[in-house]
Amino acid sequence: MSKILVTGGAGYIGSHTVIELQKVGYEVVIVDNLSNSDSSVIERIEKISGIRPDFEEFDLCDQAAVATLFQKYSFSGIIHFAASKAVGESVEKPLLYYRNNLQSLINILESMRDYKVQNLVFSSSCTVYGQPEKLPVTENAPVQTAMSPYGNTKQISEEIIKDSVSAYQGIKAIALRYFNPVGAHESALIGELPIGVPLNLMPFITQTAIGLRQKLMVFGNDYNTTDGTCVRDYIHVSDLARAHVIAVERMMKGKNTNAYEFFNLGTGTGSTVLEVIQSFERTTGVKLNYEITGRRPGDVEQIYADTRFANEELGWKAEKTLDDMTASAWKWEKYYREVLSAS
């Protein structure tokens, strides 16, 4: 049975991907330093799938520990999520982000080279496109100057991977450029759990609805969109997780057309902030306390994916609707506050 390493596998997207990997028969090894996650996720993964993944707790910036990991296990592929990811924090602490996000990747690539591991799926982001000149965004859209150190680490990471694939024979890689992952697993046992005040829309909505936040602020209603609020391409986290399994299998089965490939992962449909709020109120029956305020500096007006390349090449398509996303996010928020917080 093939063994897949999932770095950051106790995190939001990582944990959902572990479930999808287990579902199709892969053995999973999770590495996570738990800086932005909780070890109880491992138990909840086991509760969902009936299989407990191997778990190694350490920091991937520790080169010796990474080498020891590759000595201990024989991996068929690696899915690399582990990274610091808060845009605002990256502006305040750029060196932390450059060290954490780049050094961990370099250590993994070095061990891939040294221990002859061939297949890497990298967790990238649509932030590499900045404010795109044309919509929807295709893979041919130019990579723009990054808006933050976080975004820059994604761009630099892709360059590091591309150069490594070119230099070290046998290594293949696929970068998956996500749009806006939201929602939670249908079991409601795992979901998004931001530390502190959420920076993303969906967890702020659910925390406002449950009474943890007093009010949701909608930043700007004078954009050139249908209702004046910003547009994003929201994708259900379980749909996103499936794409990682398909990507790693694509390389393992030799179906990739180049040693380095990249794909946009979204639904291909943009939703405004107000449309997300309306979906939440419709699926949950909960009225949200929100207020429209001025624009937030640095916000992109609208961005959504052209998903045709991923649909055709990967044979993957996002299936869940915006209503599925808002309903599952609320189900998870309630479970977490009522069950996990109380335990």
Q: Are 241 and 101 in contact (CB under 8 A)?
A: no
Q: Active-site positions?
A: 150
Cα–Cα distance between 177 and 140 in angstroms, integer? 12
CA distances from 235 to 177, 253, 254, 256 (A): 12, 27, 27, 24
Q: Which residues contact 57 (CB under 8 A, 6 or more apart)?
A: 31, 32, 33, 34, 39
Among 66, 60, 189, which Cα is nearest to 123's?
A: 60
Give the three-class secondary structure for 336: helix
CB under 8 Å, gap of 24 or more: what pairs does 284-289 form? 284/209, 284/326, 284/327, 284/330, 286/209, 286/330, 288/205, 288/208, 288/209, 288/216, 289/208, 289/214, 289/215, 289/216
Two structure tokens written together for 128: 């590499």
Tokens in use for 47?
A: 């509760």
